[in-house]
Structures are given as structure tokens and as C-alpha cells.
Amino acid sequence: MNNPKVLLRRDRIRKLVLPSQKVPLKLSARARELILEHTFADDELTAPLRVAPTANKLAVYAFTLDDWEELAGYVAAEANHAKDKKLQKELDQLFARMQTVLESYTDEDNGPAE
């Protein structure tokens, strides 16, 4: 049986992935737009998001944990500086979803302490 290795962190089970392994997150067209149009994330980082999904469908995008963390940082920064309360709320909700992904996986194998 092929079970992914999991680690317990702060009462959470986190799936262990390789540092280069990509993890998925479903994003709506609006979530993509928030990242592409309202953050300062560079084109290299956001390139996978530029592939437009079918209209009105959630698309699954996969990034490494480092890339998700970087994207989440851009989203959080924009949320913190947004003057429009509706935009701020949308960015905060997107950030929370990204954090859930980041808290669900780890690429650090901290085996038993010696």
C-alpha cells in the first residue's frame, strides 16, 4: 500500500512532499484575477495562473510550497494595504485558503530527535 508520509505538527497532520513537488489548490477566475491584477508577484511566479480556465469553472493550480508561500505573501501584503474594504476581504479570504494549503503540507522531514 502506498501511503504518503505524514508529520504531526501543532496537533495537525501534514503531508510530507519533496521540496520540488507541487501541491494543488483550486482557484476561481476571481482568485486568479486578484493575484494577477492586484499583487506585485512577478511574471515568472504567476505564469501558471495566466493559463485561463474554462469560463466559470474552478481550475486547479499547482505550485511548490515555496511558491505558494511567496504568492501568499504578495496576497497578504496587498490585503494589508488595500483601501477598498471589499477587495481587502476578498484578498484575506484568498490568503486564508492559501494558508490552509501551506499548513497541510511540509517539505521538511524532521525525523526523530537524537
Instruction: Evaluate whether residue 24 is within a structural domain.
Output: no
Instruction: Evaluate whether residue 33 is within a structural domain.
Output: no
Instruction: Evaluate whether residue 27 is within a structural domain.
Output: no
> Which pLDDT score is estimated for 106?
94
> Which pLDDT score is estimated for 89?
98
Residue 5 three-state SS: coil
Q: Output the DSSP codes for 49-86.
A: GGS--STT--EEEEEEHHHHHHHHHHHHHHHHH-SSHH
Question: Which residue has 517539505 as its cell numbers?
Answer: 107
> Which pLDDT score is estimated for 66?
96
Instruction: Evaluate whether residue 81 is within a structural domain.
Output: yes
Instruction: Evaluate whether residue 35 is within a structural domain.
Output: no
Instruction: Evaluate whether residue 65 is within a structural domain.
Output: yes
> Which pLDDT score is estimated for 109?
73
Instruction: Evaluate whether residue 49 is within a structural domain.
Output: yes
- Segments forming the whole domain that contains residue 52: 40-107
Rounded CA-CA distance 106/32 in Å is 24
Instruction: Evaluate whether residue 30 is within a structural domain.
Output: no
Domains held by the chain: number: 1
Rounded CA-CA distance 50/22 in Å is 17
> Which pLDDT score is estimated for 27?
93
Per-10-residue mean pLDDT of the chain, 114 residues long, equals 50 86 94 96 95 79 96 98 97 97 88 48
